[in-house]
């Protein structure tokens, strides 16, 4: 799909007009240090902004840089992470910080390939980090960006592939100030979702999020909270969770595999 110059100008004027009136202040926007950006991008994966903002301030006040996280124990990192969910991200953050300190002297790399090698960092997150930390005009799609592009350029279509969205994004992105452009896309996309519903449902990537209550994801979080409080036996965990022994065994085995838990002397500890 080709977007004319006049269409690009109209789109950008509308986008920036909304952004100027409705800018959302966030700690990682006010201070776009590479560390702040990296931390916020990991926290924002599958977690709402409002939940992240409070936890971000708590976390960064204790761990002010990659060196602080690298030196801390996983137990200390998980204690502060607790409440955000998807706890393996805390393990990724700890491991990534160690790599950044040991291999890059504590400085977040500016190469896409180097970023993508870090634990927990996929293609979209790596490109988002390059945009927000280094103002590089990368192309990436996430929920709010997809919402805006579908609303303005594909609202009459269904089963829209991200590749088509990327072709349009390549034409409309503000290469002079990609950081501000993507901030505007995020804020505007949030507004559009509230007004018109989730247009991501028109995308081929759309899947409904599974129910949280009673899920293994919920039970993983419960297990880690219990072990963070004090080491647990299998029987202690089973008594608290009231789940089947087979399911509990499956969950703790996966947590051990991810090195979030270790099993020693019949007790589970944080890895």
Q: Rounded to an integer, what distance in angstroms lies between the CA atom of residue 9 and that of residue 85?
A: 40
Residues in the chain: 271
Q: Within 10 Å of residue 61's Cβ, how many Cβ atoms?
A: 9
Choosing from 7, 20, 30, 41, the catalytic residue is 41
Mark whether 41 is an active-site residue.
yes
Q: Rounded to an integer, what distance in angstroms lies between the CA atom of residue 238 and that of residue 243?
A: 6
Q: Rounded to an integer, what distance in angstroms lies between the CA atom of residue 81 and that of residue 76?
A: 9
Check: CB of residue 93 under 8 Å from CB of residue 42.
Answer: yes
Q: Rounded to an integer, what distance in angstroms lies between the CA atom of residue 3 and that of residue 202?
A: 20
3-state secondary structure of 104: helix
Angle between the N-to-C axes of helices 143-153 and 178-196, in degrees from 0 to 180, rounded to the nearest 10:
70
Q: Which residues are known to be catalytic?
A: 41
């Amino acid at each position: 799909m080709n977007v004319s110059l006049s269409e690009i100008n109209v789109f950008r004027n509308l986008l920036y007009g909304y952004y100027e009136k409705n800018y959302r202040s966030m700690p990682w926007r006010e201070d776009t240090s590479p560390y702040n950006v990296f931390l916020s991008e990991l926290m924002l994966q599958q977690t709402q902004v409002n939940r992240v903002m409070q936890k971000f301030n708590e976390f960064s006040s204790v761990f002010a840089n990659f060196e602080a996280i690298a030196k801390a124990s996983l137990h200390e990192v998980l204690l502060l992470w607790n409440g955000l969910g998807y706890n393996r991200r805390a393990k990724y953050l700890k491991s990534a910080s160690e790599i950044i300190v040991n291999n890059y002297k504590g400085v977040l790399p500016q190469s896409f390939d180097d970023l993508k090698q870090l634990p927990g960092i996929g293609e979209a997150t790596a490109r988002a980090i390059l945009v927000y930390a280094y103002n590089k005009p990368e192309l990436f799609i996430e929920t709010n960006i997809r919402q805006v592009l579908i609303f303005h350029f594909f609202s009459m279509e269904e089963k829209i592939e991200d590749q088509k969205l990327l072709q349009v994004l390549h034409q409309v992105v503000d290469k002079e100030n990609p950081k501000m452009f993507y901030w505007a896309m995020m804020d505007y996309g949030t507004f559009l979702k509230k007004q018109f519903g989730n247009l991501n449902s028109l995308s081929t990537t759309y899947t409904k999020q599974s129910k949280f209550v009673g899920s293994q994801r919920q039970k993983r979080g419960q297990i880690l909270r219990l072990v963070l409080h004090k080491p647990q036996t299998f029987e202690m965990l089973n008594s608290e969770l009231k789940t089947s022994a087979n399911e509990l065994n499956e969950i703790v085995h996966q947590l051990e595999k991810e090195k979030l838990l270790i099993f020693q002397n019949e007790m589970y500890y944080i890895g």
